[in-house]
């Protein structure tokens, strides 16, 4: 190779082989990231073992219909308590802007279960006159606290005044009303 050809090759940068290797690595990394996110955010439970086993292996699978039922990703006790919590919220006219958000009541790492219980505790023997979204109340509450989503007191209680203001704001937003106080938006449970 002559001196001008060497100089020309240096100016071109990386060789075709280097670019091919870099491209292959990038594709593999992107594929890995996509696989990880698909696994994390996939709502389906992991595949369960096939019910058919060879005759030489002892079968430990039951013959009940639950064999085909997907394994829950949350402990049954958590699901039951989440269902009860959801029903309790319904009785006080609190629901969700997106039904998928109801799944957060099952998530032990979410602040929704504790927050929902705080709303129920505040309402006690009252209910909201009209429906209000829990996620909007939560957003208003955390925004008022500067994005802090933990409870404000050692015993896990929420700040009552901020929670009332968050409910009032969410109530007015959803229902197009101009209520001025928490007392304007609640009524006794029937």
Q: Is residue 89 part of a domain?
A: yes
Q: Which of 43, 174, 157, 179 is nearest to 100 (CA)?
A: 43
Q: What is the largest CA-CA distance in the chain?
A: 94
Residue 122 located in a structural domain: yes
Give pLDDT, residue 150.
Answer: 60
Q: pLDDT (tens digit, 9 = 90+) per residue, 141-174?
A: 999 888 766 655 545 578 899 999 999 999 999 9
Q: Is residue 120 predicted with pLDDT exceeding 70?
A: yes
| pLDDT score, position 54 | 44
Q: What is the pLDDT of residue 49?
A: 46
Specify the number of domains making up the chain: 1
- Helices then strands (H, E): number in the chain? 6, 4
In a domain, 8, yes or no: no
pLDDT digits (tens, 9 = 90+) for 2-57: 666 665 555 567 777 877 878 878 777 787 777 776 666 665 444 444 444 444 44
Q: Which pLDDT does position 180 carry in this prediction?
A: 96
**Nearest alpha carbon to residue 69 among 45, 39, 86:** 45
- Torsion angle in degrees (nearest 10) through CA of 54, 56, 59, 63: 50
127 within some domain? yes
Range of the domain at 145: 76-188
Asked if residue 180 belongs to a domain, the reply is yes
Tell whether 20 is covered by a domain.
no
3-state secondary structure of 158: coil
Strands 126-128 vs 186-188: parallel, antiparallel or unpaired? antiparallel
Do the domain assignments include residue 5? no
Mean pLDDT for the stretch of residues 113-117? 89
Q: What percent of the chain is modeled with pLDDT above 70?
A: 65
Does residue 165 sit within a domain? yes
User: Is residue 77 helix, strand or coil?
Assistant: helix
């Amino acid at each position: 190779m002559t001196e001008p050809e060497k100089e020309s090759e240096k100016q071109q940068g990386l060789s075709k082989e280097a670019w091919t290797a870099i491209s292959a690595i990038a594709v593999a990394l992107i594929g890995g990231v996509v696989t990880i996110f698909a696994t994390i955010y996939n709502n389906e439970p992991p595949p369960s073992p096939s019910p058919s086993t060879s005759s030489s292996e002892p079968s430990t699978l039951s013959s009940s219909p639950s064999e085909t039922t997907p394994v829950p990703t949350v402990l049954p006790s958590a699901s039951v308590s989440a269902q009860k919590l959801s029903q309790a919220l319904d009785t006080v006219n609190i629901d969700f802007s997106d039904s998928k958000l109801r799944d957060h009541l099952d998530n032990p790492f979410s602040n929704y279960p504790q927050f929902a219980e705080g709303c129920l505790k505040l309402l006690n023997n009252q209910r909201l006159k009209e429906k209000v979204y829990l996620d909007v109340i939560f957003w208003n509450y955390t925004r008022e606290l500067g994005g802090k989503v933990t409870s404000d007191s050692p015993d896990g209680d929420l700040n009552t005044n901020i929670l009332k203001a968050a409910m009032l704001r969410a109530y007015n937003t959803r229902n197009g009303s101009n209520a001025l106080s928490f007392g304007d938006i609640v009524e006794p449970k029937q």
